[in-house]
Amino acid sequence: MINRGEKMIIIGGGHNGLVCAAFLARAGYAVTVLEAASQVGGAAVTHEFAPGFKVSQGAHLLYLLDEGIRKDLALDSHGLKMAGTGLATTSISAGGDYLRINGDQLDGPGAEPDDQAAMPEYLRMMNRFAGVLQRLHNRTPMRLGTTDRGDLKALARLGWDIRRMGKRDMREFLRITGINVYDVLQENFNSELLKGALSLEGVLGTFLGTRSNNSVFCALQRMSNGARYDLPAGGMGAVSEAIAAAARSHGAEIRTSARVRRILTEGEEACGVELEDGSVIEARCIISNADPKTTFNRLLGAQHLEAGFAHRVRNIRSNGCVAKLHLALSEPPRFTGLPDEFTGDRLVIAPSLQYVEHAFNHAKYREYSKDPVMEITVPSLHDDSLAPAGQHVLSAVVQWAPHNLKQGWSEAKVAFTGRVMDVLAKHDPEIRGKTLYSELLTPADMESGFGMTGGHWHHAEMAMDQFLMMRPVYGAAQYRTPVNGLWLCGAGCHPGGGVMGSAGRNAANAIIESAGG
């Protein structure tokens, strides 16, 4: 039982940790956030990678941030502004064809009439199915096998959410949710440029190919907030700063450059944390925004857990696959065949389903993609604070770059950067000449930089077996862990990764509820 006014510690000032801190502080608890880095935000940070050039270091598009959190924490009044909203997705090709997806409208030389006709129904279906997941996002997952009224009610509600879609949609929902995007896209569309681009919704940030089961589930999860891509002004760091400002305004204390070395326990109770500098902070409520493996294996120690639970934690799949490319450019990129007005879109290099599947194949064998898939933004076209006047930054999510690369990343990084630049140069032959400075972050860099096991953006692979009451594992899926007083609030918990904030708020609610409101 935690009393109001009693100290709570949040390990990690990523967006979920900050959201959790803000809601706890708002409810009157004394919260201290301990962030290892010199700025808050975790992987949602803006970083100056070359003099005068700034870029979102991890995630570069905002598409899942919960509207309720944005409103409840008044993030807009704490400085959150959008530089671009509702970015169209444009699938580009080396041959100069392109296809622009703007809502349910398809344009450009790659658009085919059949696909144009099929797109509204596809989006209606996917958005409806994604809505079922979305309604689960803002609640503590129910437990299975209990007779608790709340659990049973939540399960019944999920069943009802599916059932009330009607016979046709329910059948389709149950049919496709567990299968792969390849099959579903083949059923619906002709154009390879379109199918390639849409398949990315299912595989970005995952260790899945287009033909891997679960990829439809991942697509639905990504689309669960309306599939609307926004660019925050000042980069993703501005989102974190706004949440931090909201947390501070409610009285939360946020300490940066305060790396936690371990979580201290007494018997089966958490009793404090020890920092890297050796100092100890006592508290009876410790909330970890670190990923589950870091929390349980490194900060706590598996020996302080029962063996079955520790084993489940060890088996969480968290092999990060995403690399991030940042280019400082002397002039804007100019992609073959693409009108300049569309360069500011969310550009994807995924010219066919086959291309994406082949790019993934390498990852299975612990190799990087020979021809990687990319999601490119040029945020400086929307936001002139990111680069010197007339110059630009390009930010690209690059897949697949598995963390467990055979030869290790220190050896492979230069060669992989070369591959990525080659692929870019096929689409903008001048790109090398325009590049003033480049930076590639591998999953190994993200693991060391952000403290995420496996460099995994979502802390744990998003998949049906690592979702809801199984995220991160059975026994810790209600934010409460087997160690009394130790809680989780990061992306490793339900509802998972993406700059969403829901895990942080759900954790705060669960803690407040356990304290009796």
Partner 1 sequence: MRTVHFEHRDHWRNKVYPSPFHSRQKELNVLRTWSRWYDYLSVPAYFDATLEYFAARNACAVFDLTPMTKHVISGPDALPFLNRLVTRDVAKIKPGRVGYCVWCTDEGQVIDDGTIFHLEPGRYRLCSQEHQIDWLMINANGFDVDIVEDTHDVAGLALQGPTACATLKRMGLAGIENLTPFGLAHFDFSGTQLMVSRTGYTGDLGYELWIDPDHAELLWDRLFEAGELHNIRPMGSDALDMTRIEAGFILAGVDFMPAMHTVRPTHTRSPLELGLSWLVDFNKPLFNGRRALLEEKARGSRYRFVKLDIEGNKPANNAYVFDRREKNIGWITSAMWSPSAKKNIALATLDMPHGKIGDEVLVEIYYQRELKWSRVMANARVVKDPFWDPPRRRLTPPADF
Stretch that binds partner 1, among 225-233, 306-314, 345-353, 435-443 (CB under 8 A): 306-314
**Binding to partner 1 by residue 303, rule CB under 8 A?**
yes
Contact 197, 392 (CB under 8 A): no
Residue 274 CA from chain centroid, whole number: 29
DSSP state of 451: -
> Least distance in Å: CB of 311 to partner 1?
5
Q: Would you state the structure tokens that stand for residue 425, as one six-digit string?
A: 């140069």
Q: How far is the C-alpha of 45 from the C-alpha of 128, rounded, in Å?
A: 32
Q: How far is the C-alpha of 164 from the C-alpha of 159, rounded, in Å?
A: 9
CA distances from 170 to 128, 161, 179, 218, 463 (A): 10, 9, 15, 18, 20
> Least distance in Å: CB of 416 to partner 1?
32
Q: 71, 135, 171, 314: which one contacts partner 1 (CB under 8 A)?
A: 314
Half-sphere exposure of 96 (CA within 13 A, CB side): 3
Considering the complex, state which of residue 251 and residue 482 has its C-beta at the smaller distance from partner 1: 482
Considering the complex, state which of residue 157 and residue 298 has its C-beta at the smaller distance from partner 1: 298
**Binding to partner 1 by residue 302, rule CB under 8 A?**
yes
> Least distance in Å: CB of 169 to partner 1?
35
Considering the complex, state which of residue 309 and residue 467 has its C-beta at the smaller distance from partner 1: 309
Considering the complex, state which of residue 264 and residue 347 has its C-beta at the smaller distance from partner 1: 264
Q: 267, 278, 516, 517: which one contacts partner 1 (CB under 8 A)?
A: 267
Name residue, tokens 């993609």: 369
> Least distance in Å: CB of 455 to partner 1?
22
> Least distance in Å: CB of 354 to partner 1?
41
> Least distance in Å: CB of 314 to partner 1?
6
Q: How far is the C-alpha of 33 from the C-alpha of 449, rounded, in Å?
A: 18
Stretch that binds partner 1, among 161-169, 170-178, 302-310, 507-515 (CB under 8 A): 302-310
Half-sphere exposure of 221 (CA within 13 A, CB side): 30
**Binding to partner 1 by residue 144, rule CB under 8 A?**
no
Contact 136, 468 (CB under 8 A): yes
Considering the complex, state which of residue 249 and residue 484 has its C-beta at the smaller distance from partner 1: 484
Considering the complex, state which of residue 311 and residue 432 has its C-beta at the smaller distance from partner 1: 311
**Binding to partner 1 by residue 310, rule CB under 8 A?**
yes
**Binding to partner 1 by residue 301, rule CB under 8 A?**
yes
Binding mask 336-375 for partner 1 (x = CB under 8 A): ----------------------------------------
**Binding to partner 1 by residue 281, rule CB under 8 A?**
no
**Binding to partner 1 by residue 482, rule CB under 8 A?**
yes
Residue type, 390: G
| Site size toward partner 1, by CB under 8 A | 17
Q: 182, 309, 409, 450: which one contacts partner 1 (CB under 8 A)?
A: 309
Q: How far is the C-alpha of 434 from the C-alpha of 321, rounded, in Å?
A: 28
Contact 94, 334 (CB under 8 A): no
The three-state (H, E, C) secondary structure of 93-150, written as one string: CCCCCEEEEECCEEECCCCCHHHHHHHHHHHHHHHHHHHHHHHHHCCCCCCCCCCCHH
Q: How far is the C-alpha of 388 from the C-alpha of 385, rounded, in Å?
A: 8
* Coil/strand/helix, residue 347: strand
Considering the complex, state which of residue 470 and residue 491 has its C-beta at the smaller distance from partner 1: 470
Stretch that binds partner 1, among 12-20, 30-38, 303-311, 331-339 (CB under 8 A): 303-311
Considering the complex, state which of residue 104 and residue 274 has its C-beta at the smaller distance from partner 1: 274
Considering the complex, state which of residue 423 and residue 488 has its C-beta at the smaller distance from partner 1: 488
Q: 306, 331, 411, 430: which one contacts partner 1 (CB under 8 A)?
A: 306
φ/ψ of 56, rounded to 5, equals: -70, 120
* Coil/strand/helix, residue 404: coil
Quickly count: other Cβ atoms within 10 Å of residue 151's Cβ. Answer: 18
Name residue, tokens 């409208």: 105
Parallel, antiparallel or unpaired: strands 392-399 and 373-377: antiparallel
**Binding to partner 1 by residue 297, rule CB under 8 A?**
yes
**Residue numbers at the binding site for partner 1 (CB under 8 A):** 267-268, 297, 301-311, 314, 475, 482
